[in-house]
Structure 1
Amino acid sequence: MSDLYSRHRRVMPDWLALYYDDPIEITHGEGRHVWDSDGRRYLDFFGGILTTMTAHALPEVTKAVSEQAGRILHSSTLYLNRPMVELAERVAQVSGIPDARVFFTTSGTEANDAALLLATTYRRSNTVLAMRNSYHGRSFSTVGITGNRSWSPTSLSPLQTLYVHGGVRTRGPFAHLDDRAFIDACVADLKDVLGHTRPPAALIAEPVQGVGGFTSPPDGLYAEFRELLTAHGILWISDEVQTGWGRTGDHFWGWQAHGRSGPPDIVTFAKGIGNGMSIGGVIARSEIMNCLDANSISTFGGTQITMAAGLANLTYLLEHDLQGNARRVGGLLIERLRAVAAQLPGVREVRGRGLMIGIELVKPGADDADPQAAAAVLEAARAQGLLIGKGGGHDTSALRIAPPLSLTVAEAEEGAAILENALRSAY
């Protein structure tokens, strides 16, 4: 056991999860690669949990951070802040929300927490609709709406949460239905829930469930949910913490796969926009954002150095069409992995879109989750120089693959070959 690991265990909480039997310390990175404290290089297919969106040590971002650090790091939202206004203007422009207002936070958890405050205040209701198998953060309120038991340590909550079907396409009571019938059944379920409760404030949903193992409903489900919600005056919050900024390839925002009825009332974001800097935020229509009747600030949300990084990162992503790259390279990677999976009895499904790919593992000959195999593949991939993630619903049995959006075809092929070897070693 390394000295750093021993020190970690002495001062950190037991519930602070670490990957690998022999945890690694990542010391530096470049492009799509990182290095550990022993000098080993890894191809990074997880990006610090979908956070390194463009590339490690991207020169444009590091230059922006360095120049801003030489001026001022922080002043709080009590003072005018040029980088914050400039990034808010860009985010509002690409959001699709009319007359949008933007509030910056330091994380996705805090962004979702703020969205819940806005929705419940605007609607004068503490009832929230959420999806089964969902994850929205680690704060008291966001744990209260998380529909994934592995990440919900308490049932105590200031909110009344009602969970509806639809986030997981291939498991549950509607899995056997075709896409049209699946959507109809989920809409009927939502309608039934609404008939048994006081009017909720909002539905919060991840277009692609992140921690849940990169699961998603058929395109169009949330558009049909939206029609029903709008009839009852209920808001739609799209949690884009993991799906936003072009990662899914086909769309800039995950909600756009369900966008027939227009943009959500509220969008939350974080992770990739900062490329490693602590940025989260909420986008909402002005009347929703402005519904609070008390003062508020954010000490660290929108601080100058993180805003400079976010602005440089977003500019790079748009100018280099990384969404298009995610679509092209991600499509090749998914097909390559599906070809491998067809030969392995323990791979139940390869799913996802763009550079957001899940591989669900089961015990061969059964449909039972196989978290031990997922852990084994994670270790085998690391041993061969590839970092991936894991997640899932009832058990952590899905591998999560989410490289930086600048991934090259050659790197995708390299990672797929390592994954094939790791999967074969487990089965």
Structure 2
Amino acid sequence: MTTDASQGQAHGSAKHLYQRHQSVLPDWLAVYYADPIELTHGEGRHVWDAEGNKYLDFFGGILTTMTAHALPEVTKAVSEQAGRIIHSSTLYLNRPMVDLAERIAKLSGIPDARVFFTTSGTEANDTALLLATAYRRSNQILAMRNSYHGRSFTSVGITGNKGWSPTSLSPLQTLYVHGGVRTRGPYADLDDAGFIAACVADLEDLLGHVRPPAALIAEPIQGVGGFTAPPDGLYAAFREVLHERGILWIADEVQTGWGRTGDNFWGWQAHGQNGPPDILTFAKGIGNGMSIGGVVARAEVMNCLDSNSISTFGGTQITMAAGLANLTYLLEHDLQGNARRVGGLLIERLRAIAAQLPGVREVRGRGLMIGIELVKPGTDQADPDAAAAVLEAAREGGLLIGKGGGHNTSVLRIAPPLSLTVAEAEEGAAILERALRSSQF
């Protein structure tokens, strides 16, 4: 990493800030690194901490800085909107909100779509669950094992990853379905066609024993779960079974949307043979750091609520201005295509590195959404200590990455801004290779 000592003098000690953090914030509010860092500014694909250290950012604030840090087009849009009006609530007409809703409705692929804006992915998934249960008059939900859908009381109740679900209490009855993890579980040894057939048979058997649920909610690629995914076509096969019974399909695109997977604009499109989802949720990248989430659903589902509602902060003018500028930049610069090209090169580079390391079980992913699963060499046993060590070594080398996974957080998560260059991808891969080797796992 590179250092500008003057930055540290301006901002003070990170250690002291961490002590203040611990004294006033919850113990369960996790931070990365044995010595946590404070990020003070960024540009492009790089960020700097309060001590002046420069890092190549391969995590983007948890897949949220989607295009680039300090993107001029977004900064200008936010500044200009702030000079006019920042907020009015949904009780008044809001031109930027209508403009962005029109674009997202068209991009969603859902016919006769309606869009409701929230402030986060958690709130978006909460809203989707409200719509589905009200529309179907059922509080029973199908969710995927190893899934993650947010931190609210409702969304942790459908999260299939015990590390992120602090309570079993829930207003919903949740049934967990096979299929989100291709290389673990009872069907891992089957080929793709056999895997899909087995998961569909399991779903049909499950539905034969319960009252019809309201919906299935699924991430096309599981984010917090370690960037795991089923074979293409699984959710299309599921949708056929669900549609026959009137059960809705909710695609949680909070992490997979906006072209990050490279091959498609939405993750559901890898499974779209039987049409789009009934409900789609989004967040994270669309705001490039501003708090935007939302739900898209066909009109009859979105309009099923029979009471009034508003959103105080969802769709506020300043976040909508950021979203419009960010989406325009992404489309005009074909960042989906860049994710496909640069992400493909990065995945192949990482797989070549992994082939020489017995502690790497798998390198997986699509576009610029890549997971490296670590195990104890010679076994299939997850190695969270190795993941933590690599995370630290990568930071020491000037690279920020994430971690996750349903097996004791043993997956390194790589999700840079979609404007990543080939040179930056190679630089990051080289740092990561040194971090993997130096951790001696």
What TM bracket, shorter-length normalisation? over 0.9
Work out whether 1:62 is the aligned partner of 2:75. yes
One-letter identity of the residue aligned with 1:131: M
Letter in 1 for 2:273: R
Return the match for 1:388 from 391, 395, 401.
401
Secondary structure, aligned partner of 1:325: helix
Q: Is 2:197 the counterpart of 1:196?
A: no
CA distance in 2, matches of 1:196, 1:341: 44
Q: Secondary structure at the match of 1:2?
A: helix
CA contact (8 A) 1:329 1:354 kept: yes
1:274 equivalenced with 2:287 (yes/no): yes
CA distance in 2, matches of 1:335, 1:246: 19
Residue 228 of structure 2 aligns with which residue?
215
Normalised by the length of structure 1, the TM-score is 1.00
Once residues 223 and 399 of structure 1 are traced to their aligned partners in structure 2, the CA distance between those partners, rounded to angstroms, is 29
Residue 25 (str. 1) matches residue 23 (str. 2): no
1:157 paired with 2:180, answer no
Gaps of 5+ in 1: none
1:85 counterpart residue number: 98
Q: Identical aligned pairs, as a percentage?
A: 85
Distance 1:423 1:262 in 2: 42
Secondary structure of the residue that 2:102 maps to in structure 1?
helix
Residue 366 (str. 1) matches residue 372 (str. 2): no
How far residue 2 of structure 1 moved from its aligned partner, in angstroms, is 1.1
| Secondary structure at 1:13 match in 2 | coil
Do 1:149 and 1:394's aligned partners in 2 also have CA atoms closer than 8 Å?
Answer: no
What letter corresponds to residue 392 of structure 2 in structure 1? E
Q: In structure 1, how many angstroms separate the alpha carbons of the residues matched to 2:183 and 2:431?
A: 27
Q: Which amino acid aligns with 1:15?
A: W
Moved over 6 A (4+): none
Matched, 1:6 2:19: yes
Show CA shifts across 1:351-407 (max 9, x none): 000000000000001110000000000000000000000000031000000000000
Note the alpha carbon deviations across 1:233-291, whole angstroms, 9 max, x for none: 00000000000000000000000000000100000000000000000000000000000
Distance 1:175 1:57 in 2: 43
Matched, 1:178 2:188: no
d(CA) in 2 for partners of 1:29, 1:5: 21
Q: Match for residue 105 of structure 1?
A: 118
TM-score with structure 2 setting the length: 0.97
Q: Which residue, out of 16, 30, 41, partners 2:54?
A: 41
Identify the residue that residue 8 of structure 2 maps to in structure 1. Answer: none
User: What corresponds to 1:74 in structure 2?
Assistant: 87
Structure 2 unaligned regions, length at least 5: 1-13
Q: Which residue identity lines up with residue 312 of structure 1 in the other structure?
A: A
How many residue pairs get aligned? The number is 427
In 1, the alpha carbon distance for the partners of 2:83 and 2:289 equals 19
Tell me the amino acid that sits aligned with residue 196 of structure 2: I
CA distance in 1, matches of 2:189, 2:351: 21
Question: Considering only aligned residues, what root-mean-square deviation do their CA atoms show, in Å?
Answer: 0.5
1:353 to 350, 363, 366: 366
SS at match of 2:126: helix
**Residue aligned with 1:249, SS:** coil
Do residues 228 (structure 1) and 230 (structure 2) align?
no
Report the equivalent of 1:251: 264
- 1:57-78 deviations in whole A, cap 9, x for unaligned? 0000000000000001100000
- Contact 1:144–1:161 under 8 Å retained in 2: yes
Paired letter, 2:249? W
Letter of the structure 2 residue corresponding to residue 187 of structure 1: V
Distance 1:153 1:143 in 2: 7
- 2:342 is aligned, of 305, 313, 329, to 329
> What do residues 114-152 of structure 1 show as CA deviations (whole Å, max 9, x unaligned)?
000000000000000000000000000000000000000
Structure 1 residue 208 displacement after superposition: 0.2
Task: State which of 392, 412, 421 in structure 1 corresponds to 2:425.
Answer: 412
1:315 to 328, 339, 355: 328
Partner of 1:342: 355
Amino acid at match of 2:421: T
Partner of 2:10: none
AA of the residue aligned to 1:204: I
SS of aligned partner of 2:194: helix
User: How far apart are the structure 1 equivalents of 2:105 and 2:96?
Assistant: 14
Counterpart amino acid of residue 169 in structure 1: R
Paired with 1:329 and 1:394, the residues of 2 have a C-alpha distance of 28
Shift of the alpha carbon at 1:425?
Answer: 1.1
CA distance in 2, matches of 1:100, 1:217: 27
Q: Within the alignment, does 1:425 sit opposite 2:434 as a pair?
A: no
